[in-house]
Structure 1
């Protein structure tokens, strides 16, 4: 690994001079500055951001906490955050909390030890003390918090749209898979669907789920058809659960969308690759990530923020697990 001493030797100057150039601190003759910058470029030297931040008392590091990196939705969020941060000259440290509060706390400690100047969190524990006691800006992403700014999609509208589509396209016995009870965004989707279905003549079943994990989705799909075999329409809590329901429907010999209609939530890349391709409610994950990054940067730089809670629109993506509109 190239070190600052190697740059100094290549440029024929002292380590202190290279340090002054890197940190733009103190006088350096323009000819000398050019020698140092040429050496940096030639050696492809990458400064240690943590060390620089400690020296300058100013960091460019941002912490990003994700709840489950295996869920394809969250890398899309992360990519939006990363692209915006990189464009603005910031760098990310990413932690995967696995929906475990203890692991989440450990990552926050790691972020603080590495001198981050802000945190974006997509985890489910926004009102715990390990956030409320921090003195740096925090933005929640795909989550809402009572104490911190947030960027999230319109889950209530998404639930309503899903219910309207199933009703309009002929489902009469609809099962709604309710997401984790401690996750407000999941409950928004559920509430929107139930509000819409309550004004219809359809029979409505509700099945509670406790997470969005791959491991449990297949079990819930199996239980759904055992408990509610007459189901001809499913509103899933997310695309992973919808994929498990689709798989179980195939196993039971059901035809889609003739016998059963399914609508997911998120529009992860996998959705279009399923057979048949999954109709779903799209959250603009990448754009949400960029908006969260922009909001955090404004807070870090003490710029005026007109809107601290940003709600993004959702859209229905029609594929082949719903019938064509008549």
Structure 2
């Protein structure tokens, strides 16, 4: 690995001159700067960004905590974050927590060790662990978060239940996402309000996780508990797709025997046959706008909107029946 000393030797200048040129601090003549730049290019030298950030008391690294990268919703959030921070000259360190508090603590320690400039998080946790780092919450937002970006989950719950209630609902099962995740309870509140206003009978089905690994077991358990279910409001697209697969395995026809609506509009929802009706969340925009807020905070710029709620919309596809009065 090439060092700053190698650059200085090749350029014929002092290590201090190279350091000033790299950090843009202090005087460096045009001739010496050109020599340093030529040596850096020839040696393919990359400065130690952590050491540099400690010297400058500034960092170009941003940390991102995600609950589960195997859920297609969160890579879209991450892409939005990455695109915006790259636009602003920062690089991203990703922490895939996998719903594990110990991993979360390890990643936060890694962020601190790398002197990150700020953190974005879609993990519901105690943000005091981040000490004095600028911090923005994404997606899973509670009322006490000063800076946040999320979608309108209450309206999403209403839209999902409305779609079901308009289409010969029969026996309705509402999947409840993990109760430790705030937005799953907000979605539930919206769905329950609509179902009760329409005087529809429904049952709640509890799930402990949004993770892919638990979805198949949950689908099997749901059909064992409710063999005559006619309509399902799923907690997310992963569970919805797994339910549809299990229903087809059991000889049911979608949507005639069973109709299903998901949540998120992940890329696979269109590829399933029948295709999945779902509530579309603006995952990319959540990440992009959250990163914009964080970069503004880091750079001391005014943050006009501290808490941003983005709209959701319904995507009607083949997993829902025709409306009763169409």
TM-score by length of 2: 0.94
Cα pair 2:137 2:145 within 8 Å, conserved:
no
For 1:277 and 1:42, locate their aligned partners in 2 and report how far apart those are by CA, in whole Å.
Answer: 54
Cα offset for 1:156? 0.5
Q: Which secondary structure state, in structure 1, belongs to the residue aligned with residue 197 of structure 2? A: coil
Match of 1:200 in 2: 198
For 2:218 and 2:137, locate their aligned partners in 1 and report how far apart those are by CA, in whole Å.
Answer: 29
Superimposed CA distance per residue, residues 21-77 of structure 1 (whole angstroms, 9 cap, x where no aligned partner) = 110011111122123223334444332211110111111111111111221211111
Match of 1:137 in 2: 134
For 2:265 and 2:5, locate their aligned partners in 1 and report how far apart those are by CA, in whole Å.
Answer: 49
Cα pair 2:252 2:258 within 8 Å, conserved:
yes
Match of 1:115 in 2: 115
What does 1:1-326 correspond to in 2, within 5 Å?
A: 1-125=1-125, 127=126, 129-131=128-130, 134-145=131-142, 146-325=144-323, 326=326
For 2:180 and 2:206, locate their aligned partners in 1 and report how far apart those are by CA, in whole Å.
Answer: 12
For 1:9 and 1:72, locate their aligned partners in 2 and report how far apart those are by CA, in whole Å.
Answer: 49
Aligned length: 323
Is the deviation greater in 67-76 or in 37-46? 37-46
For 1:9 and 1:276, locate their aligned partners in 2 and report how far apart those are by CA, in whole Å.
Answer: 66
Q: Which secondary structure state, in structure 2, belongs to the residue aligned with residue 244 of structure 1? A: helix
Cα offset for 1:169? 2.2
Is the deviation greater in 42-51 or in 264-273? 42-51
Superimposed CA distance per residue, residues 96-144 of structure 1 (whole angstroms, 9 cap, x where no aligned partner) = 111111221121111111111211111122x36424xx11211111111
TM-score by length of 1: 0.94
- After TM superposition, where is structure 1 displaced by more than 4 Å over at least 4 residues in a row? none
Cα pair 1:118 1:137 within 8 Å, conserved:
yes
For 1:129 and 1:24, locate their aligned partners in 2 and report how far apart those are by CA, in whole Å.
Answer: 34
The answer for unaligned runs of 5 or more in structure 2 is none
Q: Which secondary structure state, in structure 2, belongs to the residue aligned with residue 242 of structure 1? A: helix
RMSD: 1.6
Cα pair 1:99 1:124 within 8 Å, conserved:
no
